[in-house]
Amino acid sequence: MKRVVLFTKNSCPHCDSAKKYLDQNGIKYRLCNVSTAAGRKEYSLTGYRGVPVLKIGDQFLNGFTVKGFQNLYSK
């Protein structure tokens, strides 16, 4: 099982879709809200600018698609 971190912010419909997918599929993840100071600091290390971004193991998925997530999660 790979560790999953979901970088998100408040009132982001794409972030909500990612959360819903992970919850419905019983995938454990850590939520990192980039609206908080700690979240912003951690997010700045990724080099990305928009959300959602998922960190799956040691790889990143910029934006959320089921296919993109499954490709990285199942490797």
Task: Identify the CATH homologous superfamily for domain 4-73.
Answer: Glutaredoxin (3.40.30.10)
Residue carrying the six token digits 């099982």:
1
CA distance linking residue 23 with residue 64, whole number of Å: 14
pLDDT in tens, 29-53: 999 999 999 999 999 999 999 999 9
pLDDT in tens, 49-68: 999 999 999 999 999 999 99
pTM for the structure as a whole: 0.93
Among candidates 23, 14, 12, which has minimal Cα distance to 61? Answer: 14
Compute the average pLDDT of residues 67-74.
Answer: 95
Could you tell me the residue ranges of all domains in the chain?
4-73
Q: What is the CA radius of gyration of the chain?
A: 11
At residue 22, the pLDDT reads 98
For residue 13, whether the previous peptide bond is cis, meaning omega lies within 30 degrees of 0, is no
How many helices and strands (H and E) does the chain possess? 3, 4
Is residue 43 within 8 A of residue 53, CB to CB? The reply is yes
